[in-house]
Amino acid sequence: MTAILFTAFGACTLVPYIFFRCKRKLMPGIFLKIATSIFFLLTTCAAALACPAELFDQNKFLFFGILLGQIFGLLGDFWLDMKDMMAQHHDPLVFAGFASFFVGHCFFIAGLFSKYGADLKTWLITLGAGVLLCAFVMLTEKPMKLKYGKFKGITAAYSVIFGMSIAASLLCYFSTKQTQALVMNIGLAVFLASDLFLSGTFFGEGKDHPFDYAANYICYYGGQFTIALSLLAIAR
């Protein structure tokens, strides 16, 4: 119940954040964005605490993997928003944002594999999925009228790790049929949709309309809260 309540609070801060972001009122917007991110962290903690002590102990690495992944997501959000407020440091802040999200996905993968296990075949399939997503992102740069420029390298690396995290959650579900892994996979897929909109607003032209921003943030936070709520499947 507490996890659902924090999710509702997150929705309440997300709506005005999107309004301020679309109006380009950055200062009030960044505080609302941080508040929304804190609420998905609280949702993760509440969902973990809903588990009996013995279940928490059995799944503690998954819990901490998700929590640490989301903390780095919060940091990534902060750096990427600060680039608009500190134009003189635009490039380092963008790199910091991508790097934070990269590390966050590493924790997601570590949490999943610590819980469900992974042999060499699983790792190879996971890596292959990451490489395929990276190839798709790179090959569709021109057709989608994007220009990664100096951020092509970090974009490629981030695409690999994101593809790996989605594949990891899906493989964990297929091998164990655990609902938590499936719900987390759905959350990561929605998260990926947010990055597709984000790539347009970051690297495209004419894709910075209110709809693009709203779709990006709704999918991003929808994904993060879904990942957090996936832990309730363990509690049951």
Using a 10 angstrom Cβ sphere, with 0-12 exposed, 13-18 middle and 19 or more buried, the burial of residue 53 is: exposed
This prediction's pTM: 0.91
pLDDT tens figures, 108-120: 999 999 999 999 9
The predicted model gives 138-164 an average pLDDT of 92
CA distance 51 to 53: 6
The predicted model gives 115-132 an average pLDDT of 95
Q: How many H helices and E strands in the chain?
A: 10, 0
For the chain, the first-to-last Cα distance in angstroms comes to: 13
Whether residue 138 has pLDDT greater than 70: yes
Number of domains in the chain: 1
Domain span at 115:
2-235
pLDDT tens figures, 80-96: 877 777 777 888 999 99
Query: What type of residue sits at position 230?
Result: S
Q: 190 pLDDT band (50/70/90 cuts)?
A: very high
